[in-house]
Chain A
Amino acid sequence: DQQVKQNSPSLSVQEGRISILNCDYTNSMFDYFLWYKKYPAEGPTFLISISSIKDKNEDGRFTVFLNKSAKHLSLHIVPSQPGDSAVYFCAGISGNTPLVFGKGTRLSVIA
């Protein structure tokens, strides 16, 4: 039972353009959705989150949009930079349960 789905294993974007990473979920009980970023040989690091009662959260170049009716969220990175090249994980959490991760999307930002 995959509660969080990232259907695009990889994405390539030119430097300066917008990167859009997508995520779908099945668990309507999630209270928060989070994006984590992972570089090789490092643990995931928290990037940005959104409460289930919001539809948008912005932090600098990163914006997360939540569409509850479609059970879909997306992470927008603009402008994309080469240092953004990493694997991005979408995750959801509900109540007291542990974080549930998607399989990740590898973003490559090409200079």
Chain B
Amino acid sequence: DTGVSQNPRHKITKRGQNVTFRCDPISEHNRLYWYRQTLGQGPEFLTYFQNEAQLEKSRLLSDRFSAERPKGSFSTLEIQRTEQGDSAMYLCASSLWDRNTGELFFGEGSRLTVL
């Protein structure tokens, strides 16, 4: 399978714990995006990378959130000191950016439940 891969698919944690999600994009894609989706909402942009450079971060991305893409391949999204409001589906997407047409390839998401 050469699509976008995310793991873990599900994570249940207690409030205050740290969690980390991993995303493996389509191999030739140079752009990688993180979105968050809560019930009844569309995906909300968090951050994106072009190769290893983090080019933009949403104001939704509080100081407790950090994302990395160290070698321009896979990416990790870490949430420190989780809160119940962090419960959501975290979606990763990738694209080959030659012109910004918006066509992204999404993974199946990592669902976070904070108790």
Q: Inside 8 A of A49's CB, which chain B residues have their CB?
A: 101-103
Size category of the B interface is 20 to 34
Q: Which residue of B lies closest to A106 (CB)?
A: B40
List which A33-57 residues lie within 8 A (CB) of chain B.
34, 41-46, 49
List which A88-111 residues lie within 8 A (CB) of chain B.
89, 91-93, 95-104
Asked if B77 is an interface residue, CB under 8 A from chain A, the answer is: no
Asked if A32 is an interface residue, CB under 8 A from chain B, the answer is: yes
Size category of the A interface is 20 to 34
Q: Looking at chain B's contact residues, is the secondary structure mostly helix, strand, loop, or mixed?
A: loop
The residues of A with any CB-CB pair to B shorter than 8 Å are 4, 6, 9, 31-32, 34, 41-46, 49, 89, 91-93, 95-104
User: Can you give 27 A-B contacts (C-beta < 8 A)?
Assistant: A4-B42, A6-B42, A9-B40, A31-B100, A32-B100, A32-B101, A32-B102, A34-B102, A34-B103, A41-B108, A43-B93, A43-B106, A43-B109, A49-B101, A49-B102, A89-B42, A96-B100, A97-B56, A97-B100, A98-B33, A98-B56, A99-B45, A99-B104, A100-B45, A103-B41, A104-B41, A104-B42
